[in-house]
Structure 1
Amino acid sequence: MEFALGPTALSAGYRLTAYPRIGSTNQEAILAARSEDPGAHWFVTTDQTAGRGRRGRAWVAPVGNLAATLLIVTPHDPATAATLGFVAGLALDEALRAVAPDLAVHIGLDAFDGVGAPGRADRLRLKWPNDVLLDGGKLAGIGLEAESLDGGRLAVAIGIGVNVVAAPEGLPYPATSLAMLGLRIEAPAVFIALSNAFAGLIRIWDGGRGFPVIRKLWLERAAGLGEPVAVRVGEDVFSGAFETIDEQGRLVVRSASGLSRTIAAGEVHFGAVATVRA
């Protein structure tokens, strides 16, 4: 099965470059931007050998997983561009629900039909700032890189990795893959759904003007909302309850004493793990 854009993405004018093997799809996107690529351009592979994750960590992607980067060229506004990570999270969530509907909701033995019914739990959740969780394990991650261009423009490489055939080992957090759940879904099928979902959601985002809608949708699918969290920022750890994200996508945590803190970047740990790591 070869990579292809979904019909919504095609009609919106997106382009696609697929590689059998490449060092980093993010790097290819940035190089293209330096060569005056106008953006709306996907770079994809199932064999990425030199990807980078959060804080410059190696982004290990076993062969068969999806590594995709969307290049967007926008007016130079890094704060607004950073909110594209939430668009990507929603697009991934929507794509995964499309290709594997059974992943969305787990129904316990005592469950009955209906929203909020006992025993029903949404298995897919979005973790601030840029992960997709399935049953609490990391299924996908998002990493943004940006570079200033001439003419007051900003190139944004939105890197997306999905554990399709395998989850990386030796991580400091639980991870899972579609194959581990017995799902025979290939990376190109996930990508078709992702490209369609992104094309629709970025229209809602509308250069950042529609971020209030994106924020609302994201919060409806957020992991740990209202629950205890510990956020590591450098060497400091701030504990409290995950209250919301603000109008810029920053995490808002409220301590037991009522102190509210807004965090632009950090590593989040939930529940009992938050207590231990704090």
Structure 2
Amino acid sequence: MPAPLETGRLIPGPTQDPRLSGAAVEVIDSLTSTNDELVRRLAEGPEGAPGHLHALLTEHQTAGRGRRDRTWTTPRGSSAIVSFAVLPAREDAARPTLPPESLHWLTLLLALAVRGAIREQTGLPAELKWPNDLLVGGRKIAGILARAAHDAAGRLGVVVGVGVNTGLRPEDLPSEAATSLLIEAGGEVDRTELLIGVIERFRRLVADFEAAGGSVLTATPGAPALLETVRGALDTLGRRVRVQRSEGQPDLIGLAQDVDADGALVVRADDGELVAVSVGDVVHLRPESGTWGPGAGAEGPTAPDAASPAPRAETEGGRP
């Protein structure tokens, strides 16, 4: 049985880890969905409504869903699950607010935070797969999903969450296309430490993005432009891919060359056409055969929810 989360290190109080100083973190033993819970509280506010960057964690999620509304359940304590409420600043707030057209980038901000936390704690070469997955060794280890959320005053925000496979054994996985930190690292990983790393990084990345005015092209003191950071972390670039587009459209096969300033994946199709893909499930292909690669279309790790997309962010395999 995996070790339980060390709640005292996470939630505000005298024993909270100093890296989370000032962070609103909440741990609930069991929930249907951390994303659903935050969306509900925002809509019902102001009493009990979460604040900006409120982090909600759970030991066990009973009704998690992945892309295309696929259900995904895991044994208790075998995943690291957290969702964040990202809210617009009030007019009198000191912090800058993110313009609505930038909110779809929050999925990749969280992906970068998870990537950094996994790499620091385990040394594993976690990488991003466009638009919302993380891979280790070509296999899916984490999935990120976002939902548009409105507070009681009708202001638009986003709830974005991640589920990382931490303690799943080979027999727990749905296919060979998925993996876990237990399998890849060869031993149990401290979920509390991992989540502290994710929360700390996500808060810093959001603050930098706010300081840049929601621009992915603008660097801030001590932080490069977001677009360049994403390009450097995206394992999809330089690979042959199959893009499964919306119903009625044929699959697109070609070389993934870039991510543009709108978050679209730029693919050089086999017929030479350059196509910017905003929505689609991306499959990494084996270069030697053109067949589906290890992470292709994997029913990925526990995700908090996928009921509805974030603004301009079709979380069912769409724009980040």
Same fold (TM over 0.5): yes
* Structure 1 position 222, deviation (Å): 1.0
How many Å separate the matches in 2 of 1:47 and 1:20?
A: 7
Distance 2:101 2:157 in 1: 13
Runs of 4+ in 1 over 6 A off after TM superposition: none
Per the alignment, residue 141 of structure 2 pairs with 139
Letter in 1 for 2:226: I
Which one has the bigger strand percentage? 1
Conserved? CA contact 1:7–1:196, under 8 Å: no
The 5 A counterparts of 1:26-105 are 26-34=35-43, 35-36=45-46, 37=49, 38-64=51-77, 65-74=79-88, 78-101=100-123, 103=124
**Identical-pair percentage:** 29
Structure 1 regions of 5+ residues with no counterpart?
A: 104-122
Residue of structure 1 equivalent to 2:305 = none
Q: Deviations over 1:204-256 (max 9, x none)?
A: 21175242312211110111312211100124311111011111211111113
CA drift at 1:146 = 0.8
Residues 149-203 of structure 1, C-alpha deviation per residue, up to 9 Å, x if partnerless? 45562131111000010165324x6111111131321321210111111111112
Which has more helix, going by share of residues? 1
1:19 matches 2:28: yes
Confirm or deny: 8 A CA contact 2:173 2:179 kept in the other structure: no
CA distance in 1, matches of 2:75, 2:263: 31
Query: Residues 1-278 of structure 1 correspond to what in structure 2 (within 5 A)?
Result: 1-3=5-7, 4=10, 6-10=17-21, 13-34=22-43, 35-36=45-46, 37=49, 38-64=51-77, 65-74=79-88, 78-101=100-123, 103=124, 123-149=125-151, 151=153, 153-166=155-168, 169-171=173-175, 174-181=177-184, 182-206=186-210, 209-212=214-217, 213-235=225-247, 236-272=250-286, 275-276=290-291
How far apart are 1:78 and its partner, in Å? 4.7
- Residue 48 of structure 1 deviates from its aligned partner by 0.6
Q: 1:9 to 1:246 in 2, by over 3 A?
A: farther
TM-score normalised by structure 2 residue count: 0.73
Query: Would the aligned equivalents of 1:79 and 1:248 in 2 still touch at CA under 8 Å?
Result: no
Q: Distance in 1 between matches of 2:101 and 2:65?
A: 21
Secondary structure at the aligned position of 1:83 is classed as: helix
Q: Is the 8 A contact 2:243 2:281 kept in 1?
A: yes
Deviations 1:95-140 (A, max 9, x none): 1112112x1xxxxxxxxxxxxxxxxxxx321000011100111111
Q: How far does residue 77 in structure 1 lie from its aligned partner after superposition?
A: 5.2
Distance 1:231 1:49 in 2: 31
Task: Please give the alpha-carbon distance, in whole angstroms, between the structure 1 residues aligned to 2:99 and 2:278.
Answer: 16
User: Partners in 2 of 1:232 and 1:91 — Cα distance?
Assistant: 27
Query: Number of paired residues?
Result: 255
Q: Which sections of structure 2, spanning at least 5 residues, go unmatched?
A: 12-16, 89-96, 218-224, 293-320
The structure showing larger relative contact order (alpha-carbon pairs under 8 Å, at least 6 residues apart) is: 2
Aligned residue number for residue 107 of structure 1 = none
Q: Name the aligned partner's letter for residue 71 of structure 2.
A: A
Counterpart of 1:58 in 2: which secondary structure? coil
Give 1:147 deviation, angstroms.
2.3
Helix, strand or coil at the partner of 2:230: helix
**TM-score normalised according to structure 1 size:** 0.84
CA distance in 2, matches of 1:39, 1:8: 18
Moved more, 145-154 or 127-136: 145-154
52-61 vs 91-100, which moves further = 52-61
Conserved in 1, the CA contact under 8 Å of 2:236 and 2:256? yes
Moved more, 142-151 or 185-194: 142-151
Indicate the residue corresponding to 1:112 in structure 2: none
Q: Structure 1 CA distance, aligned partners of 2:231 and 2:127?
A: 10
Paired letter, 1:21: S
